[in-house]
């Protein structure tokens, strides 16, 4: 919009600009800054820079970190792959870095219908399933007979991932290895991201074999916590920022008291069940 960046608004800070353009600001409550790790993994636009950490660079880092894990697993499980395929849009940057590191061709063979909303934000299972059906079209001529490493930014409920795996199998993929640039999401978020219920999270209470079975993948490979931390924090440390992102949905270490959030999530879940049963 043609504006210039002055500075970020600090956590707990209020900034007031009067009609003459005078600026007043005060930090009302001082707390440790714990931004959501999902900004770098999924939410933020790739050209953004958050807390001095470029989102694009962090996603490249996620791909490179994943490559280390995948190389090891490919060797251990004696797996070979023909193509690295991103699930559009967010995972593209990480998938490019991953393909470069693995020396496997990168192909965009899932074509996105740009008019469908992000599926995990839709408020019912039925809407999410319908949206996935309409969301992506496979390029059969490039997929047929190929062993694919499918890269997605994260696996939340697994609904989308399962559908995409079905889709590429129907398009003739001979093997599907599903890779997530984010570690397993095992705990609810009480800070506004809409996956509040433990039972809805595919990685909650399941081991990797059960997840592979549930999704119908030949293998599922996740980023690890260390890989995620270093992809985000490396740039922050270079800038001299000692920022620690929130990763509570991954490691269960919530940066604040969550009792009110937990009560709200339970009430909301009960309301959803009532509405579904009507």
- Other CB atoms closer than 10 Å to residue 88's CB: what's the count? 17
CB of 216 to ligand SF4, least distance (A): 26
Near ligand SF4 by CB under 6 A, which window of 159-167, 174-182, 198-206, 247-255? 247-255
The footprint of ligand SF4 on residues 191-210 (CB under 6 A) is 191, 193
133 three-state secondary structure: helix
Residue 55 in contact with ligand SF4, rule: CB under 6 A: no
In the list 102, 109, 243, 249, the residue contacting ligand SF4 (rule: CB under 6 A) is 249
Burial class (CB in 10 A: 0-12, 13-18, 19+), 230: middle
Q: Are 155 and 202 in contact (CB under 8 A)?
A: yes
CB of 244 to ligand SF4, least distance (A): 11
How far, in Å, CA of 66 to CA of 141, rounded?
A: 28
Near ligand SF4 by CB under 6 A, which window of 35-43, 132-140, 218-226, 260-268? 35-43
In the list 37, 97, 132, 168, the residue contacting ligand SF4 (rule: CB under 6 A) is 37
Spell out a b/e string for 167-187, using b for 16 or more CB atoms within 10 Å of the CB, else e.
Answer: bbbebebebbbbbbbbbbbbb
How far, in Å, CA of 253 to CA of 189, rounded?
A: 11
Q: Closest CB to ligand SF4 among 157 and 169? A: 157
Q: Closest CB to ligand SF4 among 144 and 194? A: 194
In the list 122, 201, 231, 247, the residue contacting ligand SF4 (rule: CB under 6 A) is 247
Residue 50 in contact with ligand SF4, rule: CB under 6 A: no
Q: Residues near 273 by Cβ (< 8 Å), separated by ≥ 6?
A: none
Residue 246 in contact with ligand SF4, rule: CB under 6 A: yes
Binding mask 151-190 for ligand SF4 (x = CB under 6 A): --------------------------------------x-
Burial class (CB in 10 A: 0-12, 13-18, 19+), 49: middle
Residue 262 in contact with ligand SF4, rule: CB under 6 A: no
Residue 83 in contact with ligand SF4, rule: CB under 6 A: no
Q: Are 211 and 219 in contact (CB under 8 A)?
A: no
Q: Residues binding ligand SF4: what is the number (CB under 6 A)?
A: 10
- Other CB atoms closer than 10 Å to residue 214's CB: what's the count? 14
Identify the bridge partners of residue 136 per DSSP, sorted by sequence position.
112
Q: Which residues bind ligand SF4 (CB under 6 A)?
A: 36-38, 189, 191, 193, 246-249
């Amino acid at each position: 919009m043609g504006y210039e960046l002055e500075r970020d608004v600090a956590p707990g800070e209020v900034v007031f600009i009067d009609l003459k353009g005078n600026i007043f600001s005060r930090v009302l409550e001082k707390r440790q800054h714990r931004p959501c790790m999902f900004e770098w993994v999924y939410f933020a636009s790739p050209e953004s820079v958050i807390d001095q950490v470029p989102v694009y660079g962090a996603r490249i880092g996620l791909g490179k970190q994943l490559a280390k894990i995948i190389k090891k697993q490919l060797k251990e499980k004696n797996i070979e792959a023909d193509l690295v395929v991103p699930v559009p849009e967010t995972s593209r940057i990480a998938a490019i870095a991953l393909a470069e590191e693995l020396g496997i061709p990168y192909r965009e063979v899932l074509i996105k219908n740009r008019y469908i909303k992000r599926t995990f934000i839709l408020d019912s299972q039925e809407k999410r399933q319908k949206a996935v059906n309409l969301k992506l079209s496979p390029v059969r001529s490039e997929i047929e007979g190929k062993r694919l490493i499918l890269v997605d930014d994260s696996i939340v409920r697994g609904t989308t991932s399962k559908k995409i795996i079905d889709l590429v199998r129907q398009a003739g993929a001979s093997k599907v290895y599903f890779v997530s640039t984010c570690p397993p999401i095992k705990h609810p978020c009480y800070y506004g991201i809409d996956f509040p219920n433990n039972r809805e999270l595919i990685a909650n209470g399941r081991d990797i074999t059960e997840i592979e079975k549930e999704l119908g993948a030949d293998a599922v490979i996740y980023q690890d916590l260390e890989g995620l931390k270093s992809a985000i924090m490396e740039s922050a440390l270079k800038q001299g920022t000692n920022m620690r992102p929130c990763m509570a949905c991954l490691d269960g270490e919530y940066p604040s008291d969550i009792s009110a959030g937990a009560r709200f999530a339970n009430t909301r879940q009960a309301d959803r069940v009532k509405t579904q049963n009507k």
